[in-house]
Amino acid sequence: MSRDIQLKERWDSIVKFLSEKFAEGDELDLDAIIYLIGVQELGKFNTTYKKDEKINLMHIAICRLLEPYGYYEFDYFDNEGWPHYKIKEELPPLKAGEQSVLMKEAIVNYFLEKKVIS
């Protein structure tokens, strides 16, 4: 099976799983999945987040997702338990489609690591 086909199948599996669990079957988009990963990484599930906190949650997720690629490194948890990352290497300039593929691949790897999919 080609790498692209396997990535698509795994991505579709993640979207289906999360959509059923968190959106009553309505299909979640990439940003919503990144947000959910941010909440997972923060570990504060029964909280209502303000708009700026939601953006910070997405930032946490992106840093965590791109950490294995060498772009970010975990630095510390602040007094409120929010993780902070430092930039190790700047992301190369990517077209929108390339960004999407990179994030989907990183999300698939995250869920493989967490053993949610195989």
Cβ–Cβ under 8 Å, residues 94 and 116: no
117 vs 80: CA distance, rounded Å: 31
Within 13 A of 63's CA, how many CA atoms are on the CB side? 22
98 vs 40: CA distance, rounded Å: 25
46-77 pLDDT per residue, tens = 899 999 999 999 999 999 999 999 999 999 99
Share of the chain above pLDDT 70, in %: 99
55 vs 53: CA distance, rounded Å: 5
Asked if the model's pLDDT at residue 82 lies above 80, the reply is yes
Q: Please tell me the predicted confidence (pLDDT) of residue 76.
A: 97
